[in-house]
Amino acid sequence: MRGTGKLIWSVALAVLFCASLVAAQEYVGSAACGNCHPGKYADWQQSGHHHALTRITGAAPQFPFQYHPGSPNVPAPPSLAGTPLSWNQISYVAGGYHRKANFADAQGYLITGAAGDQTQWNVWGENWVPYHPGQSVDFDCAQCHATGYSPAGHQGGLPGAAGIWAEDGVGCEGCHGPDS
């Protein structure tokens, strides 16, 4: 009986200890992973995962790689009613390095435009095409294109950005879990 009591207490303490470790894990970002894994971090920075969702701060995103014969970079923001937008009017680019790029406006809403507006950049064809013209499309790209996604709230206070996330792009913790 005495040994059974110690065993029960030991198991209970182990469960509590492990539960506190799991609950304490937070997303720390891929740069923190790079402290112990510099080679893998450098490879990741050159990958499409790093650039799956790119925050725009007034300048065009620069993608460090090419998957096709043309330029890997988005040449300019889209145009609406024939008027080109500026990078200051764009908050995020989803994709843009491999297949296509979609754009979120300064409030976080996906830019669709009216009939005739060319708002999606196709990387392989190096051409603009319509993206759901005349429709309102939720900016819910972060579920797959960001790390540590939660549906609660709006990233950066942008009303059109559905949910919040810990890191733009698919970071190390997107596959390996938080703080692992």
User: What pLDDT is stored for residue 155 in this prediction?
Assistant: 95
Res. 18: pLDDT tops 50: no
pLDDT at 21: 47
Chain-wide mean pLDDT for the chain? 84
Whole-angstrom CA distances from 136 to 99, 110, 160 are 22, 8, 10
Strand 83-84, strand 79-80: pairing: antiparallel
Question: Higher model confidence: residue 126 or residue 165?
Answer: 165
Q: Does position 87 have pLDDT exceeding 60, yes or no?
A: yes
Q: What are phi and psi of 7, to 5 degrees?
A: -65, -45
- pLDDT above 90: percentage of residues in the chain: 58
**What pLDDT is attached to residue 16?**
46
Q: How far apart are alpha carbons 133 and 153 in whole angstroms?
A: 27
Most confident by average pLDDT, 2-11, 79-88, 122-131: 79-88
Higher pLDDT, residue 116 or 25: 116
Rounded average pLDDT over 31-39: 96
Q: What is the pLDDT of residues 88-120, one digit of tens each?
A: 999 999 987 778 899 999 999 999 999 999 999
- The residue ranking higher by pLDDT, 61 or 113, is 113
- How far apart (Å, rounded) are the C-alpha atoms in residues 159 and 11? 47
Provide the token pair at 36: 């112990």
Amino acid symbol at 44:
W
- Whole-model pTM: value is 0.80
Confidence of residue 85 (pLDDT cuts 50, 70, 90): very high
Q: Report pLDDT for 60.
A: 86
> Which DSSP letter does residue 85 get?
P
Do 36 and 176 touch, CB atoms closer than 8 A?
no
- Domain extents in the chain: 52-59+73-174
Q: Which residue has the higher pLDDT, 56 or 12?
A: 56
Which of these ranges, 17-31, 81-95, 124-138, 144-158, has the smallest mean pLDDT?
A: 17-31
